[in-house]
Amino acid sequence: MNKLFSLCLIIAFLCVSCDRDEDPVAVRGCMDDIAINYDPDITVPCNHCCKYSCDTEVTPLNLIYPSNFPTPDIPMWNLLTEEGVNLGRHLFYDPILSSDNTVSCASCHKQAYAFGDNTQYSFGVNQAIGERNTPVLINSAFQSEFDWDGKSNSLEDQAVRPLFNEVELHNNNWSEILNRIQSSELYPDLFCAAFGTSNIDSSHVLMAIAQFERTLISSNSRFDKWLKGEVQFTNEEIDGFDIYNTERGDCFHCHPIGLFTNNNFHNNGLDPSPFLDLGRYNVTQNPLDEGAFKSPSLRNIEFSAPYMHDGRFATLEEVIDHYDFGGHDSPTVDPLMKYIGVGLLLSPEEKENLKAFLLTLSDQSFMNNPNFSNPF
Residue 372 lies in a domain: no
Task: Give the separation between CA 74 and CA 56, rounded to whole angstroms.
Answer: 21
Domain end call among 170, 189, 217:
217
Instruction: Read off the CATH number of the domain in which 315 is found.
Output: 1.10.760.10
With beta carbons less than 8 A apart as the criterion, state whether 59 and 81 touch. Answer: yes
Task: Give the separation between CA 182 and CA 30, rounded to whole angstroms.
Answer: 12
| 70 and 150 belong to one structural domain | yes
With beta carbons less than 8 A apart as the criterion, state whether 366 and 300 touch. Answer: yes
| 57 and 38 belong to one structural domain | yes
Domain end call among 190, 217, 244:
217
**Full domain range(s) for residue 177:** 2-217
Task: Give the separation between CA 97 and CA 92, rounded to whole angstroms.
Answer: 9
Residue 374 lies in a domain: no
Question: pLDDT at residue 22 above 90?
Answer: no
Residue 46: which pLDDT band, with cuts at 50, 70 and 90?
very low
Q: Helices H, strands E: what count in the chain?
A: 13, 4
Task: Give the separation between CA 177 and CA 169, rounded to whole angstroms.
Answer: 10
Task: Give the separation between CA 164 and CA 241, rounded to whole angstroms.
Answer: 42
**SS3 state at 58:** coil
Task: Give the separation between CA 23 and CA 52, rounded to whole angstroms.
Answer: 18
CA atoms within 13 A on the CB side of 262: 11
| 188 and 263 belong to one structural domain | no
Please give the C-alpha separations between residue 163 and each of 40, 103, 275, in angstroms, as whole numbers.
23, 10, 28
Task: Give the separation between CA 201 and CA 36, rounded to whole angstroms.
Answer: 8
Q: Considering only 23-27, 115-119, 234-238, 271-275, which range has the smallest mean pLDDT?
A: 23-27
Residue 365 lies in a domain: no
As a whole-number percent, the residues of the chain with pLDDT over 70 amount to 85
**SS3 state at 78:** helix
Task: Give the separation between CA 102 and CA 4, rounded to whole angstroms.
Answer: 40
Question: pLDDT at residue 13 above 90?
Answer: no
Please give the C-alpha separations between residue 318 and each of 21, 119, 297, 310, 322, in angstroms, as whole numbers.
63, 16, 17, 14, 6
Residue 375 lies in a domain: no
Q: Residue 325: how many CB atoms within 10 A of its CB?
A: 16
pLDDT at 197: 84
Higher-pLDDT residue of 1, 255: 255
Residue 101 lies in a domain: yes
| 226 and 211 belong to one structural domain | no
**SS3 state at 289:** helix
Q: What is the pLDDT of residues 121-179, one digit of tens each?
A: 999 999 999 999 999 999 999 999 999 999 999 999 999 999 999 999 999 999 999 99
Q: Domain count for the chain, please give it.
A: 2
Question: pLDDT at residue 53 above 60?
Answer: no
| 259 and 124 belong to one structural domain | no
Cα 76–chain centre separation: 19
pLDDT at 224: 98
pLDDT at 341: 87
Task: Give the separation between CA 108 and CA 134, rounded to whole angstroms.
Answer: 7
Higher-pLDDT residue of 16, 296: 296
Q: Classify residue 371 as exposed, middle or buried by CB count within 10 Å of its CB (0-12, 13-18, 19+).
A: exposed
| 238 and 200 belong to one structural domain | no
Q: Considering only 36-40, 66-70, 141-145, 346-350, which range has the smallest mean pLDDT?
A: 36-40
pLDDT at 158: 95
Q: What is the pLDDT of residues 180-201, one digit of tens each?
A: 999 999 999 999 999 988 889 9
Question: pLDDT at residue 52 above 80?
Answer: no
Residue 48: which pLDDT band, with cuts at 50, 70 and 90?
very low
Q: Considering only 7-21, 89-103, 275-289, 290-304, which range has the smallest mean pLDDT?
A: 7-21
> What residues contact 22, with CB distance under 8 A and at least 6 apart?
none
| 355 and 313 belong to one structural domain | yes
Q: What is the mean pLDDT of residues 222-230?
A: 98
Question: pLDDT at residue 3 above 50?
Answer: no
Q: Phi and psi of 89, rounded to 5°?
A: -65, -40
| 164 and 147 belong to one structural domain | yes
| 65 and 141 belong to one structural domain | yes
Task: Give the separation between CA 257 and CA 261, rounded to whole angstroms.
Answer: 8
pLDDT at 56: 67
| 273 and 326 belong to one structural domain | yes
With beta carbons less than 8 A apart as the criterion, state whether 72 and 214 touch. Answer: yes
Q: Classify residue 264 as exposed, middle or buried by CB count within 10 Å of its CB (0-12, 13-18, 19+).
A: middle
Question: pLDDT at residue 314 above 50?
Answer: yes
Question: pLDDT at residue 55 above 50?
Answer: no
Question: pLDDT at residue 250 above 50?
Answer: yes
Supply the mean pLDDT for the chain. 88
With beta carbons less than 8 A apart as the criterion, state whether 154 and 203 touch. Answer: no
Q: What is the pLDDT of residues 254-272, one digit of tens each?
A: 999 999 999 999 999 999 9
Domain end call among 161, 193, 217:
217
| 149 and 25 belong to one structural domain | yes
Cα 251–chain centre separation: 23
Residue 16 lies in a domain: yes
| 252 and 332 belong to one structural domain | yes
Residue 103 lies in a domain: yes
Residue 368 lies in a domain: no
